[in-house]
Structure 1
Amino acid sequence: MTDLDLDLDLDRIARAAEVIDPVFLNSPQYADERLCARLGRRVLVKPETLNPLRSFKGRGADFLVGGLPPGSTVVCGSSGGNFGQAVAYAARRHGLAADVFVPADASPVKTDRMTALGARVHRVAEPPKERAAAHAAADPGRVFVVDGRDAAIAEGAGTIGIELLRGEPFDTVVLPLGDGALITGVARWLKAHAPGVRVVGAASAAAPALAESWRSGEVRTVERRSAFAAGISITRPEPEAVCRTRALVDDVVLVEDAELVAAMHLAADTLGLLPEPAGAAGLAAIAARDIPGATVATVLTGANADLALFGGVWSTGPAAATA
């Protein structure tokens, strides 16, 4: 570990565990015997889906937004949609307004929930983050927040690391790798309190921008060939995310769309939970890649699956994702 990770503060992660809306904290973590039998190994799962957002994103958004000045308007771009929901929820909780910019083809499931939470949703053709930045710059009362850049978001997600260490010991944790906030926040806590734990990122093979940036040590723009795993499908990571992952993440593996579908089926069959594709990335990596460790942990990070958009992929199983 190097000085690059030190902008994620351990005291602030501990503080986040005290001030984040309790509805997002202390999610269950356990080993399901049927899942372990199917995978042929000891696997701990932590579903971050049993909250009002059905996603872990509420932790970081609530911690960040709770520290903004009264009267602010929170502005963000949200390509996958879960962060936009989290910002909308946090803004409403703290009495602020929210403007969320999303792609023109964003999931109706997620955009409808943003609107229901009180956000103004803007569907745009160009990259949502760029439009959000321009919108925020036009008014000093607007605060532009960026998932993967702002330390408080990763620190809020780092509370998952605190909780993981309260349970059964594990040798490796495998976490979805998109913009990097989740894995770096969790890894920051684990590296300080359980340095022997290996931290592995599971990135979409169809959108490996942060994975390639992590390997090279430079910010890489990589056009995605599929947005199936929308929550982890970015084309260019934030420089801060590259620095943090380089300092804190031990390995990165890539998972294909068909492997994500298989992991969704596996979770539904054994856990009775239906994660969205990005939310199942860690489980997909454990099932399909050679992940070291006698006991491996993962987090199911989201369950805002829009089955209407998947069409025949879900009904016909994993093979359809490669068609």
Structure 2
Amino acid sequence: MLKTRLDLDRIRTARGVIDPVFLNTPLFRCEALGRALGCAVDIKLETANPVRSFKARGTELVASRLADQGRAAVVCASAGNLGSALAWSGRRRGLDVTVVASRRAPAAKLDRIRALGATLELVDGDFEAARKRAAGIAQQRGIRLVEDSLDIETCEGAATIGVELARRASSFDVVLIALGGGAMATGVGHVLKALAPGVEVICVQPQGAPAMTRSWHQRRVVTTDSTDTIADGVAGRFPIPAVLDDLLLVADDAVLVQEASIVAGMRMLLEHAGLVVEPSAALGVAAVLEDPARFAGRRVVTIVCGSNVNLDDYHRWVGP
């Protein structure tokens, strides 16, 4: 077993804690998309749930444990999807949830956080500014700070996707995973390396937000001064050392893709699969578009990880 921070027994147990509405998400062969890309493509759909992303698999674990401990409040920084997920999981368990986000975050994601009953605080700057403010609130109020990818619950919750994929591992040979902070990549990667080691795990990140990918290739933390990508959900600048250590053990490759390929991927998911997705969810398709020879004739799973997107932005990128 790989010596990451994750534990397969805990991941299996987590499935009994997470609300079933987030589990056993669809995995289906999209023949039209496969024909367009030149390979067999299966979509793992993580958007058909109340928060329209995979993040609640992790926040369900966080909120359950806090409720069991008698804790009343929790705070996180979020680019949008984690905040919505924590708001949903926390409301269900009577927790007071505060979410700190950048004013630049997509309005659709901020509206979802408010609608789910969380207190939303907006800050100037990017996600890193929000993370600093959330840490300050946690210290001032003496409440739990949830840090995506660093907190093991977020990784092991996401890892339950890997458990579901491993059951069907004979039907594919490569999985494409959006890479931001690393919770989904390390979680799914850990399970697949344990249960389906023949499956290649490839992480995908935008060229405009390359910190974790650069860190993976250089085997040390590499930070960036800024990000420039429409894929806001993966636009971090400061990789977490412990998460990078886990990623180095479970990822077979990490690649960067251009913005035009992300947009083309979003358009293809709409045209061929009928899916409206946020940019981060199209990273896997973008990777195939940029290196078709690598995937030609292969059996590929791409995890469609979120669909919280401003419609005006979506139409501007993808077209009417």
- TM-score w.r.t. length of structure 2: 0.93
Equivalent runs, 1:151-300 vs 2, <5 Å: 151-167=152-168, 169-289=171-291, 290-292=293-295, 294-300=298-304
Structure 1 segments (4+ residues) deviating >6 Å: none
Structure 1: how far apart are the matches of 2:227 and 2:233? 14
Q: Does structure 2 retain, via aligned residues, the 8 Å contact 1:148–1:240?
A: no
Please report the RMSD computed on the Cα atoms of aligned residues, expressed in angstroms: 1.5
The match for 2:13 among 8, 12, 15 is 15
Q: Does structure 1 retain, via aligned residues, the 8 Å contact 2:227–2:236?
A: no
Structure 1 residues 288-297 or 257-266, which shifts more?
288-297
Structure 1 residue 311: Cα displacement: 6.2
| Gap change, CA 1:257 and 1:224, over 3 Å in 2 | farther
Counterpart in 2 of 1:42?
Answer: 40
Q: Does structure 1 retain, via aligned residues, the 8 Å contact 2:177–2:303?
A: yes
Equivalent runs, 1:59-74 vs 2, <5 Å: 59-68=57-66, 69-74=69-74
Counterpart in 1 of 2:94?
Answer: 95
| Gap change, CA 1:183 and 1:291, over 3 Å in 2 | farther
Q: Does structure 2 retain, via aligned residues, the 8 Å contact 1:275–1:303?
A: yes
Q: Does structure 1 retain, via aligned residues, the 8 Å contact 2:264–2:318?
A: no
Unpaired runs of 5+ in structure 1? 317-323
Structure 1 residue 310: Cα displacement: 5.0
Q: Does structure 2 retain, via aligned residues, the 8 Å contact 1:115–1:121?
A: yes
Q: Does structure 1 retain, via aligned residues, the 8 Å contact 2:227–2:235?
A: no
Structure 2: how far apart are the matches of 1:56 and 1:274? 15
Q: Does structure 2 retain, via aligned residues, the 8 Å contact 1:85–1:113?
A: yes
Structure 1 residues 288-297 or 269-278, which shifts more?
288-297
Q: Deviations over 1:99-132 (max 9, x none)?
A: 1000012211111111111100000114100000
Structure 1 residue 225: Cα displacement: 3.8
Percent identity (aligned): 40
* Secondary structure of the structure 2 residue equivalent to 1:214: helix
Structure 2: how far apart are the matches of 1:125 and 1:256? 27
Counterpart in 1 of 2:121?
Answer: 122
Counterpart in 1 of 2:82?
Answer: 83
Structure 2: how far apart are the matches of 1:64 and 1:123? 23
Structure 1 residue 169: Cα displacement: 2.1
Q: Which amino acid aligns with 1:123?
A: L
- TM-score w.r.t. length of structure 1: 0.93
The match for 2:307 among 303, 313, 319 is 303
Unpaired runs of 5+ in structure 2? none
